[in-house]
Chains A and B, each alone.
Chain A
Amino acid sequence: MESKTNKYGVSHAIQRQIDRTSYLFLLPMLIFFLGFVIIPMGMGIFTSFFDYTMSSFRFIGLKNYLDLFSDPKFLRSFWNTFVIVVVSVPSVTIFSLWVASLIYDKNAWVTSTFRGVFYLPVVTGTVPVVVVWKWIFDKYAGILNYVLVSLGVIEKNIAWLGNKDTAIWCILVILFTTSIGQPIVLYISSLANIDNSMLEAAEVDGASNLRTFWQIKWPSILPTTLYVVVITTINSFQCFALIQLLTSGGPVYSTSTIMYYLYDNAFSLYRYGYANAMGVLLAIVIGLFSILQFKSIKSNVEY
């Protein structure tokens, strides 16, 4: 005979009522998620197979995707995005870990002060941060030129953002300063949670600082590292506001990223289908990178 209760002794009728109530509580979030994430995402993928402009909506199969690989501006943007990811992810991760290692065991006010200082650009918002950096890099009245000329490092003012060799590095510097706040906070918290008895035991056994780090600290902070690496990678791939506000992708596309080129195609040239194809491709690349990072880091994670 079929039991009228589940393994916790709750009757199926009541369980159904509980389930129904739970789903109703989830409904607002589900509505939001469907309306603002799933449906737009689906439409983005769907329209990427169309010649979709302001006046046209014609199925063209994979043409948008194939065109991407013969578009030198897209390839340049792809390369720039790749450079940004490759430079920014390790530098942000290593620097954040270094800073956190230096301050996590200091006085509470020291830790808080440093945490606050590094977190400031995160809470300030992109636009004011970019305005300040734009002034720093300004060719005529920028403080960077003023300092470097005063110190005799350079002879005359440089248009940092107008030079195809320096503009991308300016972007990277700004991205770096706005990206390290959160990882530092996470690492401080993660390092502070390491079991002190293990560190003391290592000290008693005469383990060097380096060995203590690799054998005890590093395995403990690997989950945090995985999170930091994945999030920084995604943020770097999606670098857009800095580019739009500072360089418009120039000079000569030297700072154009996939996100910026996507925006330009969608909102300046009204090539919605082509822009959506870029978005889908970017999502695939980010997904692949994330899987790779999960696989390479997660295999060593000890919980």
Chain B
Amino acid sequence: MKKFTAIALSLLLVLFASPLFGSGSKEAAPAASDGTVTITWWAFPTFGQDPGKPAGSYEAELVKAFEAANPTIKVKLETIDFTSGPQKLTAAIEGGTAPDVLFDAPGRIIEYGRNGKLVKLDDLFTASYKSDVGNADLLAACSDGASYWMYPISASPFYMGINKEMWEKAGALQYVNLEGDRTWTTDDFIKAMEALGKAGNIGISVYCGGQGGDQGTRALVSNLYGATIANKENTRYTMNSTEGAKALQLLKDLADKEYIDAGLSIAAAEELQLFAQQQISATICWGTSNAKNYATNAFTQVSVPFPSNDGVPSLEYLVNGFCVFDNKDAARAEAAKKFITFISDDAVWGPKNVVQTGAFPVRSSFGDLYPGNPEYNLLASWTKYYGGYYNTMPGFAAMRTEWWNMLQYVFTGEKTVAKALADYDKNANAVFAK
């Protein structure tokens, strides 16, 4: 009996241990005998859906079109969300069950590439492709400096949205520039916040209750007095500066006067809801996608760049793109590359897909995809204000955690601005000390 039990247990252990520990733990390459290759695509909800259609509907149409054009490749689609998706991805990568294709942004993708989880896409970045993109910052956002890991499709800036009627009523609209590029200054921003606050409104919420949408708070803080998040070489996080301290002190003072709100318990999603509900008069997490999601007839939403001391903003921007996971199968990797180039470059589906992301094409050859739309023409013109792209730096994930916690220390008064910045500087840059 003991022998039987021992054999049964050993078999079970082998059965279970092999997929968990084995290097060949990935799903068996689904290359069928007829030469068909099956790849898996995990997609965050970056593509908008047509009205009334459930999540993943547009992606399914896209897959159908690709499969029709490439009958030897089958694509299994899985939609993931921004809340649980990152956790699923981490578990899948470590468990050896990563998808073949992921539609995401550089922050995570470059981290995966740097850690050897992805297939290099250098061969897709030909001289003619680079020249078509024609933007060194955008190209740099797809690389860790050594290899290209992300194939971009579209990009759009992050900016502010204001409630026109609320600002008008409070006498604050005079401080914002509604002409030309709509650039404005920090002095005007302060006056506007004061006017709004004195009228009983809340200017903005510097949300810092979590990581979601934290690029908005970084854009605000860095623009106010010309501080930078990172140096030009992307080798150090640099917010601990006179300009950074001045900006944080300004926001702390405005919050103490209750002209603005220190959003200690909210992240971007809640801040956007507060804006949509007219609880706050402006959002610092506006973008083409959010403008679409929070569109309302209740008030006029006006897009403005972040205020800056010299009136020349440095905008953060979103780059949407694809990566291919290294599942140790050349056929699947090739099929995946074919799929991502179809999505991004196909003459019919490429431009259509860009529009579906609600952003602007990275390829200049796609031209103006939003003809007759003055708002989108304005936003497209803000490309010239794009700042350096630091989301691909080592330690980016750790810096983000340090960032919103640093804001909490400042706004609660638990630490002085100088101390909070010094601690942030030490912890965020720890990765470079190793």
CA distance A161 to B207 in the complex (A): 13
A141 with B397, Cβ < 8 A, contacts A23-B5, A162-B263, A251-B265 known: no
Q: How far is the CA of A167 from the CA of B12 in the complex (A)?
A: 47
- How long is the Cα–Cα vector from A248 to B267 in the complex, in angstroms? 10
Interface residues of A in 221-270 (CB under 8 A from B): 246-248, 250-253, 264, 266-270
B355 on the interface (CB 8 Å rule)? Answer: no
Q: Are B86 and A267 in contact (CB under 8 A)?
A: yes
Which residues of B are found within 8 Å of A162, using beta-carbon distances?
Answer: 209, 262-266
Shortest Cβ gap from B369 to chain A (Å): 35
Q: Does A16 contact B115, Cβ atoms closer than 8 Å?
A: no
CA distance A270 to B93 in the complex (A): 11
A23 to B1, CA, bound (A): 10
Task: Number of B interface residues at 8 Å Cβ cutoff, please give it.
Answer: 46
The yes or no answer to B94 lying at the interface (CB within 8 A) is yes
Complexed CA–CA distance, A161 and B112 (Å): 34
Would you call B246 an interface residue if the criterion is a C-beta within 8 Å of the partner chain's C-beta atoms? no
Q: Give, as a whole number of angstroms, the nearest-CB distance from B251 to chain A.
A: 15
Interface size class of A (residues with CB under 8 A): 35 or more
Give the Cβ gap from A298 to chain B, nearest Cβ, in Å: 32
Answer yes or no: A54 CB below 8 A from chain B CBs.
Answer: yes
Q: Are A54 and B115 in contact (CB under 8 A)?
A: yes
> Is A20 among interface residues, defined by CB-CB distance under 8 A?
yes
A251 → chain B closest CB, angstroms: 5
Q: Which residues of B contact A246 (CB under 8 A)?
A: 265
- Given contact pairs A55-B116, A250-B405, A269-B398, A164 touches B265 in the complex (Cβ within 8 A): no
| Cβ-Cβ contact count across A and B, 8 Å cutoff | 100
B94 and A141 contacting across the interface, CB-CB below 8 Å: no
Question: Chain B contacts of A54 at CB under 8 A?
Answer: 93-94, 111-112, 115, 117
Would you call B13 and A20 a contact (CB within 8 A)? no
Asked if B135 is at the interface of the complex by the 8 Å CB criterion, the answer is: no
In chain B, positions 1-57 with a C-beta closer than 8 Å to chain A are: 1, 4-5, 8, 12-13, 15-17, 20
- A137 and B266 CA atoms in complex are apart in Å by 12
**A140 on the interface (CB 8 Å rule)?**
yes
Q: Does A34 contact B (CB under 8 A)?
A: yes
Of A27, A141, A268, A272, which one neighbours B211 at CB under 8 angstroms? A268
Interface residues of B in 245-293 (CB under 8 A from A): 261-267, 274, 277, 279
A252 to B410, CA, bound (A): 10
Do A43 and B20 touch across chains, with their CB atoms under 8 A apart?
yes
Chain A residues with CB below 8 A from B90, complex form: 266-267, 270
- B396 → chain A, closest Cβ, in Å? 11
Q: Is the CB of A248 within 8 A of B4?
A: no
Q: Does B408 contact A (CB under 8 A)?
A: yes
Q: How far is the CA of A77 from the CA of B414 in the complex (A)?
A: 17
Q: Are B114 and A252 in contact (CB under 8 A)?
A: no
Residue of A nearest to B409 (CB): A252
In the complex, A31→B11 CA distance in Å?
A: 10
B125-157: which have CB < 8 Å to A?
none
Task: Please state if B408 and A34 are interface contacts (CB–CB under 8 Å).
Answer: no
Contact (Cβ within 8 A) A34 B13: yes
Contact between A141 and B93, CB atoms less than 8 A apart: no
**Chain A: which residue is nearest B19 at the CB level?**
A35
Q: Is A39 close to B, CB under 8 A?
A: yes
B72 at the interface (CB under 8 A from A): no
A-side contacts of B186, CB under 8 Å: none
Is residue B231 contacting chain A, with contact meaning CB distance below 8 A?
Answer: no
**Among A19, A43, A54, A161, residue most surrounded by chain B Cβ atoms (within 10 Å):** A54
Does A159 count as interface, using CB distance less than 8 angstroms?
A: yes
Report B117 CB to chain A, min CB distance, Å.
Answer: 7
Q: Complex Cα distance A209/B116, Å? A: 70
Residues of A near B16 (CB, < 8 A) are 31, 34-35, 39
* CB of B401 closer than 8 Å to a CB of A: yes
User: With A30-B12, A162-B264, A164-B412 known to touch, is A251 a contact of B209 (CB < 8 Å)?
Assistant: yes
A139 x B12 contact (CB < 8 A): no
Q: Look across to chain A and name the residue whose beta carbon is closest to the beta carbon of B93.
A: A54
Of all chain A residues, which has the CB nearest B84? A267
In the complex, the chain B residue whose C-beta lies closest to that of A31 is: B12
Q: Does A150 sit at the interface, judged by CB under 8 A?
A: no
Compute how far the CA of A251 lies from the CA of B401 in the bound complex, rounded to whole angstroms. 12
Q: Tell whether, in the assembled complex, residue B1 and residue A167 are in contact, meaning their CB atoms are under 8 Å apart.
A: no
The closest CB in chain B to the CB of A55 belongs to B115
CA A167 to CA B264, docked complex, whole Å: 10
Q: Tell which of A39, A159, A264, A266 touches B264, judged by Cβ atoms closer than 8 Å.
A: A159
Question: Which among B8, B208, B209 has the greatest number of chain A C-beta atoms within 10 A?
Answer: B209
* A197 and B261 alpha carbons, distance in the complex (Å): 64
- Measured between beta carbons, the chain B residues less than 8 angstroms from A20 are 1, 4
Q: How far is the CA of A20 from the CA of B208 in the complex (A)?
A: 60
A252-294, CB < 8 A from B = 252-253, 264, 266-270, 272
Interface members, chain A 201-221 (any B CB < 8 Å):
none
- In the complex, the chain A residue whose C-beta lies closest to that of B263 is A162
In the assembled complex, B311 has its CB within 8 A of some CB on chain A: no
Having A31-B16, A139-B265, one finds 7 other A-B pairs with CB under 8 Å, namely A54-B117, A161-B264, A248-B267, A252-B408, A252-B414, A264-B401, A268-B400
- A and B contact pairs by CB, cutoff 8 A, 5 listed: A54-B115, A162-B262, A250-B208, A250-B265, A268-B401
Nearest first, the 7 closest Cβ-Cβ pairs linking A and B are: A162-B264, A162-B265, A161-B265, A248-B210, A55-B115, A54-B115, A251-B408
